[in-house]
Structure 1
Amino acid sequence: MTSLVVPSEPTGVLSDAWRTCVGTGRLNLALRRDHHESLALAQSEIGFRHVRGHGLLSDDMGVHRPYDAAGHTGTRYGFSYVDQVFDAWLSLGIRPFLELGFMPSGLASGSQTVFWWQGNVTPPRDYREWADLVQHLVRHAVDRYGLDEVRRWPIEVWNEPNLTQFWQGASQEEYFRLYEVTAAAVKDVDPALQVGGPAVSPGADDWWQPFADFVTDRDVPVDFLSFHAYTAGPAQHVPFGTYQSLRPPEVLLEQFARPAQLLAGSRLAGLPAHVTEFSTSYRPDNPVHDTAYQAAALAPVLARGGDLVDSFSYWTFCDVFEEEGVPTTMFHGGFGMLGHRQVRKPVFHLYAFMARMGRDVLQRGADHLVTRGAGGRLTVLAWQPVGGSEAPPETDRHALRLTLPVGPTASRVSVHRSRVDEQRGNAFTAWRHLGRPASPTSRQLAVLEEAAQPERSTTSLPVADGRVELRIELERHEVTLVEIDVVDDETPPWLDDARILGRAGDPGQGA
């Protein structure tokens, strides 16, 4: 059992890099009502600042519209869908994190595509026309939303160009050319706009130094670095699903730290670093995303990741997502922290718990984070530490004991606990017990929504010498939030709860 005395004075400030950005499906899906409803829920309980997704320039957004008819040839730029998406996001208090991609078919140099929805991943056939496209998009955003607003939107060039699936041939030379042209086009609109990259996937160490050398030698602007982090191994496909081995969650933190290590001493050292995608699995059909394990694995990452990077964006906030086609079942291993019909997954609760933490860090450990917030309120996020696929299975119980400072004048504190584990706050477990219905009935959906709620309890504890002893017993893969407030007891002296049922001394009543 972990047993620790928590210090009274803060050891630091809790970074909120974990909610600077969150991912979403391709931008055309943001036109759907369920996307908007899911984002509204995430914003009300968590409050992200930016959202990033693929496909801003793909054909289904209708931005790049070349024409050749009746003696007229040229390109028309359409922003009706883009405006609807950005207007809706901004109305919910969340800004775009612009990913420039994929290639419009009318500008593409080839036919290679990725995903069910066929995003084109070839270089532009004409880089001057690509620059015009970028400038029209950015100028339109500035005209519509104002320069001060758009300066707060990071602009990322492409997605995972180190993979042949996302960039034809995974050519560094061709990507560097794309980056240079794009950065110049963005800066020509306004030098203070933020542009960055290279948005590489894990394992792309061989890209960082060449990228640094290129932008240094040619004096290409770079305002931030972007990259991705995942812990899953090769895909083991089954019909409509994938299984993968998993590395320990600490690997994510190692990946967060890696670019800064590789770029030390270069011109890019010290630039803001944004992990624009992270999770356990990089597959949109791996059931690990739906489990309590997912929440327990990512708890230490949220607690510590902000010490390493400026943002790390969970991929994604909801299951409105179609990379491998339209999902065929309610739970299908989707990336989202919200399932279909806004059913909360355990990892959603982890984020909602983090949103209720205080600003001042009193202590961080391998299985807990203790903070103090406004008015002296203490919050404890605790989790069962988990390993990867090669680690022994987690035990059924994990315990910790913390002696917490609450102040010399307190005599009692209230303790409000919210729990998520294999059974509590776990709609995936309930769905399995229901027989995994592909399209739940209204009754089954009501059961899932109820099962998705954390178990909540409230009690109180005595204070001795300004401290309270908190014992937390965690179930397998549990993540729990404990909120502690000093009690200002207003109970009148004539009240006796033991008399409520007319039984003097009834042990079932009273505090």
Structure 2
Amino acid sequence: MRIVVPRQPSATLPDAWRHCVGTGRLDLALRRDYQDSLALVQREIGFRYIRGHGLLSDGMGIHQPYEHGGERRVRHAFTYVDQVVDAYLEQGIAPFLELGFMPSGLASGDDTVFWWKGNITPPRDEREWADLVRAVLRHLVDRYGIDRVRDWPIEVWNEPNLTGFWSAGQDAYHRLYEVTSLAVKDVDAELRVGGPSLAPGYEDEWIQRFAEFVGRRDLPIDFVSRHAYSSGPVQPVPFGAHQTLMPASALLEQFAAPRRQLAGTGLDRLQLHITEFNSSYRPDNPVHDTAFHAAYLAPVLVNGGDLADSFSYWTFSDVFEEVGIPTSPFHGGFGLLTHRQIKKPTYHLYAFMAEMGDRVLARGEDHLVTRHDDGRVTVLAWAPADPAGGTPVSGHTVRLSLPAGPPDARGTAYLRRRSVSEDSGNAWAAWCEMGRPLAPSGRQIDALHEAAEPARSHRSVPVTGGRSEVDVVLGRHEVTLLELTPVIDETPPWWSEDRLFGLGTGNAPTH
């Protein structure tokens, strides 16, 4: 069946998909590979905020206790913070501040998470913790200005419903939220603070108890946050992990859940930020590197903005070390980019979204059609991605009747197409064909960059009655971007393709 796409938009396309993106711990931003990757992402996609762990961990060096005159004192040092935030702002992206983990000099215990040992225990001195929070925010205000910092969301901790990220239980998190949120507002009442940054799998009661506590104590809260992942139990292998996946619709259900769970509490009317999402929650699951992954997440990017104010892909780059230093360029990392800026198929999904118009003409289970101010029509289409392990579909077709100029227009339109699939724009497949080299040579890296580029094609299509009939035939796990532009024909009257080699009328060959 051919889908007749309306001429007039039915909605504005939310850009919640580009509101924020995730990153590894913040001190990784001091590395060249990280900064080169961020520059590329910002140039071709353009996120507004970036969120990562470890702002208050030892690697950033903010909390510096010492003794003088027989007294314990603390110096708050911002050497690395300034370098990181300056680098972000230079790339047109602002921090989404996550307050964690606990500095070792303030921690009440030795429990840690990740290879780099982020401390997950409560502060042993709440007053010193509040002083730390105020010191960080006052410094940011002094350096970057109050108007700018008021736009930077401030999230209290990360996944406190998991003992692996918060060792002390829900009541202790409530107390941390109280102390922290009040400290934030001490600096400026218009700074935006929120939480509870929950990992998937929590019971409704967890977030409802949080809402009751905030209401009972009349605590400040400006947004609600949670995370979303769609993977099952881990099947470990050396230097990696495999997992089953739920359908992509499970991610959308998780996006929608907090407003349902918080109905009637008042918190359901606040902004909702999904501050992490991906398929697998493991940074070593090869599914992240595949063409399947781009097709799997396409409906999430297209539809997620109807459910949440932002949903932050975890993460923009494979410069990331939660389970240790990666041992190969493709290792199942979360990133849109590998080390050395090799683009994964999911990177192109985001880059394609960045080229869509903001006016929605049509949307379906395998396509999105938008219009730009200059009259161009853009189409994002994707093939089915079955996480149950079905055979990838080749030849899936989206049949569209697209508006191309005014209703009486005739002539032609220029159709430009870019695609990634199992067979194109797929550097992971090329790496596998190379034999999965652990340390590719310079020549191999060049070949991987080349293989990562989308397939490109173009053609002329007829326009009749202001419409072009376009059949989008998709390869295995293909995601494709089409751009349709009506042609204003400026071909000179003397042009003839027959005369290209001087053999046409009036130019007979001479001997």
Work out whether the TM-score is over 0.5. Answer: yes
Per-residue deviation, 1:504: 5.9
SS of the residue aligned with 1:166? coil
SS in 2 for 1:323: coil
How much does 1:93 deviate? Answer: 0.5
Pairing 1:403–2:393 present: no
Which letter maps to 2:21? V
Counterpart residue number, 1:173: 171
Alignment of 1:355-370 (within 5 A): 355-370=354-369
Q: What letter matches 1:187 in structure 2?
A: K
Residue 371 of structure 2 aligns with an amino acid whose one-letter code is R
- RMSD between superposed Cα atoms in Å: 1.2
2:185 maps to amino acid: K
Instruction: Name the counterpart of 1:133.
Output: 132
For 1:228-377, what aligned pairs fall within 5 Å after superposition? 228-377=227-376
Which whole-Å deviations, capped at 9, do the CAs of 1:100-139 have from their partners, x for residues lacking one? 0000000000000000000000000011110000000000
Aligned to 2:434: 434
**Equivalence map 1:11-410=2 (5 Å):** 11-69=10-68, 71-169=70-168, 171-204=169-202, 205-389=204-388, 392-406=390-404, 407-408=406-407, 409-410=409-410
2:257 match: secondary structure: helix
* Whole-angstrom distance in 2 between the partners of 1:74 and 1:340: 41
Distance in 2 (CA, whole Å) between partners of 1:100 and 1:432 is 39
Q: Deviations over 1:309-331 (max 9, x none)?
A: 00000000000000000000010
Rounded to whole Å, the distance in 2 between the matches of 1:234 and 1:63 is 37
Contact 1:96 1:153 in 2 (8 A): yes
Change (3 A) 1:265 1:319: same
SS in 2 for 1:462: strand
CA distance in 1, matches of 2:37, 2:25: 15
Range 342-351 or range 66-75, more displaced = 66-75
Higher mean Cα deviation, 496-505 or 417-426? 496-505
CA distance in 2 between partners of 1:246 and 1:501 (Å): 58
Q: Which residue identity lines up with residue 102 of structure 2 in the other structure? A: M
* Larger mean Cα displacement after TM superposition, 495-504 or 191-200: 495-504
The residue that corresponds to 2:472 in the other structure is: 472
Mapped to 2, the partners of 1:216 and 1:394 lie a distance apart of 49
* Contact 2:231 2:246 (C-alpha < 8 Å) held by counterparts: yes
How far apart, CA to CA, are the structure 1 residues paired with 2:343 and 2:198? 30
- Over 4 Å off, 4+ runs: 502-505
Match of 2:508 in 1: none
Aligned partner letter, 2:372:
G
Deviation at 1:177, TM superposition (A): 0.4
Matched with 1:454 is: 454
CA distance in 2, matches of 1:151, 1:410: 52
Letter in 2 for 1:491: T
Specify the SS of the correspondent of 1:437.
Answer: coil
Deviation at 1:501, TM superposition (A): 3.7
Equivalent residues of 1:215, 1:221 under 8 A apart: yes
Q: CA deviation at 1:287?
A: 0.3
1:191 aligned counterpart, secondary structure? coil
Question: Residue type matched to 1:412 in 2?
Answer: T
Q: Name the amino acid aligned to 1:179.
A: Y
Q: Equivalents in 2 of 1:108, 1:498: separation in Å?
A: 81
Q: Where in structure 2 are there 5+ consecutive unaligned residues?
A: 506-511
Cα contact 2:11–2:359 (8 A) shared by 1: yes
Tell me, in whole angstroms, the C-alpha distance in 2 between the residues paired with 1:217 and 1:446: 59
Question: How far apart are 1:374 and its partner, in Å?
Answer: 1.6
- 1:500 Cα deviation after fit: 2.1
Q: Label 1:71 to 1:410 Cα distance change in 2 as closer, same or farther (>3 A).
A: farther
* 1:166-206 CA-partner distances (Å, limit 9, x unpaired): 0004x110000000100000001000000000000111133
Contact 1:247–1:387 under 8 Å retained in 2: no
Measured in 2, the distance between the counterparts of 1:486 and 1:267 equals 49
- Equivalents in 1 of 2:481, 2:503: separation in Å? 36
Give the match's secondary structure for 2:374: helix
Structure 1 Cα separation of the partners of residues 279 and 349 of structure 2: 15
The aligned amino acid for 2:93 is I
The one-letter code sitting in structure 1 at the alignment partner of 2:267 is L
User: Is contact 1:410–1:486 with CA below 8 Å preserved after alignment?
Assistant: no
CA drift of 1:72 comes to 4.8
Assess if the C-alpha contact under 8 Å between 1:319 and 1:336 holds in 2. yes
Provide the rounded CA distance (Å) in 2 between the counterparts of 1:4 and 1:86.
Answer: 47
Q: Write the distance in 1 (CA, Å) between the matches of 2:337 and 2:283.
A: 13
**How much has 1:388 moved relative to structure 2?**
2.3
**What is the percent sequence identity of the aligned residues?**
61
Does structure 2 retain, via aligned residues, the 8 Å contact 1:225–1:272? yes
Distance in 2 between the 1:272 and 1:392 partners? 38
Q: Output one character per residue of 1:220-249: Cα deviation in whole Å (capped at 9) or x when no partner.
A: 111000100010001110000000000000
Deviations 1:236-267 (A, max 9, x none): 10000000000000110000001101111112
Q: What displacement does 1:32 show?
A: 0.5
Q: Distance in 2 between matches of 1:504 and 1:124?
A: 86
Kindly tell me: are residues 504 and 455 of structure 1, through their superposed partners in 2, closer, same or farther at Cα, counting changes over 3 Å?
farther
Shift of 1:70: 5.7
Greater shift in the superposed pair: 63-72 or 88-97? 63-72
User: 1:350 aligns to what SS in structure 2?
Assistant: helix
Q: How many residues align?
A: 502
TM-score using structure 2 length = 0.97
Maintained 8 Å contact 1:104/1:120: yes
Secondary structure of 1:269's counterpart equals helix
Per the alignment, in what secondary structure is the counterpart of residue 230 of structure 2? Answer: coil
Equivalent-residue separation in structure 1 for 2:463 and 2:60 (angstroms): 60
Shift of 1:503: 5.9
Structure 1 residue 9 displacement after superposition: 1.2
